[in-house]
């Protein structure tokens, strides 16, 4: 009895002191991302498991609409406020780094050799001036979504494997009324969506060119290949008449409504289409050309903001390690539908042969990520070139020459100092 009481007493004291020491060390760090239901859910789950494993640290999760995201992060961090760990699009890295918003990852917590051994090679764009500035949980690639009901109705048995087939199928899938207005489109071209990536990293390469010089400082798409690729993209609207840019507002909306035969999009769109009643679709790899295939990959990374220091920085590093762990990556795939950033997690058979994720994962092996200097104006160049050709009847090569001049200025301004 006495010994029992003694040990209970000792336990109680020990427990209390543990709690006390925990309180004394309690560190709260903030995590910021933009509002996207499944991403929020995934991070909430990851915070839960992180806090369970690290009792001294709490993570405050803040998210707000995408439209304000960049602005709020910039203003908050510059005011010494805001997140310790922050999510950013890989294409914004240079803006963020230049703006002093994020700090390099310490090589003790994130050894370079380990990163280079474990992650997909495209994560290399995160290494600037010999330092890594952020790491992804997940990566994205593009694939072709096709409406199986519309394919069957048009007498097509499977997805197009080549660019020529792609055009042919788009024509067969298009339906118009007697005045020539679209009832449904064969291919939902959407320059505000993913099509500018398709043009830049896939079509240009399929035609034998490359979008930018190898050092990433010069526009290289004013080549014959660039013009051919732009003509291929604009022909759907301008001459094949298989769809109009922004039909039904966005390509993804037209496809979700069952009024587009094909659309290009990322794996993050699967969850939207799966929920759509009456929509039957399948996914396949992007069509190739002359026996070659290319894909575009992109990713969001988590970086440590320049505000974090001392014990907060240590906690932020721990949280970042947790976010980029193998378990987090599988959870992200299952919850958000984005692909694991490490081959060891992504390229397991269950993922590779998955009917929905499989084509994206297979696409990763031949994908390139664009080293954007500033994503928005660079995206605008394809949007403008497309409009010049389709709305103003400009020659593709001439249109590209015009937008290339503007884009080169973006490069020059960035690299001048």
Q: How far is the CB of 158 from another protein (least distance, A)?
A: 28
Strand pairing of 135-147 and 295-305? Answer: antiparallel
Q: For residues 77 and 262, which CB has a smaller minimum distance to another protein in the complex?
A: 77
Decide if residue 161 touches another protein (CB under 8 A): no
Decide if residue 182 touches another protein (CB under 8 A): yes
Phi, psi angle pair for 292, to nearest 5°: -115, 155
Decide if residue 401 touches another protein (CB under 8 A): no
Choosing from 10, 18, 37, 75, the residue that interacts with another protein (CB under 8 A) is 75
Decide if residue 56 touches another protein (CB under 8 A): no
Cα angle: 282, vertex 284, 290; to 5 degrees: 150
Q: For residues 75 and 398, which CB has a smaller minimum distance to another protein in the complex?
A: 75
Q: Which of residues 251-310 bind another protein (CB under 8 A)?
A: 259
Q: How far is the CB of 314 from another protein (least distance, A)?
A: 24
Choosing from 247, 255, 299, 319, the residue that interacts with another protein (CB under 8 A) is 247
Strand partners, 212: 219
Choosing from 78, 106, 280, 321, the residue that interacts with another protein (CB under 8 A) is 78
Decide if residue 170 touches another protein (CB under 8 A): no
Choosing from 101, 122, 225, 333, the residue that interacts with another protein (CB under 8 A) is 101
Where does this chain touch another protein (CB under 8 A) — which range of 95-103, 152-160, 284-292, 320-328?
95-103
- Distance (Å, rounded) from C-alpha 390 to C-alpha 245? 9
Q: How far is the CB of 183 from another protein (least distance, A)?
A: 6
List residues near another protein by CB under 8 A: 70-71, 74-75, 77-78, 95, 98-101, 177, 179, 181-183, 192, 244-249, 259, 374, 376-377, 380, 383-384, 387-388, 391-392
């Amino acid at each position: 009895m006495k010994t029992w009481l003694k040990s209970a007493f000792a336990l109680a004291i020990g427990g209390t002191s543990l709690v006390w020491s925990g309180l004394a060390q309690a560190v709260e760090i903030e995590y910021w991302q933009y509002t996207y239901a499944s991403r929020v859910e995934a991070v909430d789950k990851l915070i839960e498991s992180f806090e369970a494993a690290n009792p001294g640290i709490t993570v405050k999760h803040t998210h707000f609409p995408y439209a304000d995201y960049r602005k709020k992060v910039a203003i908050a961090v510059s005011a010494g406020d805001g997140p310790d760990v922050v999510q950013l699009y890989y294409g914004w890295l240079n803006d963020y780094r230049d703006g002093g918003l994020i700090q390099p990852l310490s090589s003790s917590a994130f050894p370079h050799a380990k990163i280079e051994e474990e992650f997909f090679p495209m994560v290399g764009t995160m290494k600037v001036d010999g330092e890594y500035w952020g790491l992804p949980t997940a990566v994205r690639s593009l694939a072709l979504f096709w409406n199986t009901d519309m394919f069957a109705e048009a007498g097509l048995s499977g997805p197009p494997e080549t660019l020529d087939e792609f055009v042919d199928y788009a024509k067969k899938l298009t339906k118009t009324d007697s005045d020539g207005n679209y009832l449904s489109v064969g291919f939902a071209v959407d320059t505000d969506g993913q099509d500018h990536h398709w043009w830049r990293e896939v079509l240009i390469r399929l035609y034998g060119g490359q979008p930018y010089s190898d050092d990433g400082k010069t526009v290289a798409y004013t080549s014959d290949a660039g013009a051919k690729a732009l003509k291929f993209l604009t022909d759907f609207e301008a001459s094949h008449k298989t769809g109009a840019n922004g039909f039904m507002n966005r390509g993804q909306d037209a496809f979700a409504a069952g009024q587009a035969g094909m659309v290009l999009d990322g794996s993050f769109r699967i969850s939207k289409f799966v929920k759509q009643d009456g929509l039957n679709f399948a996914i396949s790899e992007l069509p190739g050309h002359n026996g070659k295939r290319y894909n575009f990959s992109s990713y969001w990374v988590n970086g440590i903001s320049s505000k974090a220091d001392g014990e907060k920085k240590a906690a932020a590093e721990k949280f970042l390690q947790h976010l980029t762990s193998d378990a987090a990556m599988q959870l992200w795939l299952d919850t958000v539908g984005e692909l694991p950033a490490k081959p060891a997690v992504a390229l397991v058979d269950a993922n590779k042969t998955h009917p929905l994720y499989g084509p994206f994962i297979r696409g990763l092996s031949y994908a390139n990520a664009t080293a954007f200097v500033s994503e928005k104006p660079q995206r605008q160049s394809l949007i403008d070139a497309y409009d010049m050709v389709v709305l103003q009847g400009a020659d593709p090569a001439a249109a590209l020459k015009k937008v290339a001049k503007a884009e080169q200025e973006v490069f020059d301004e960035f690299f001048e100092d």
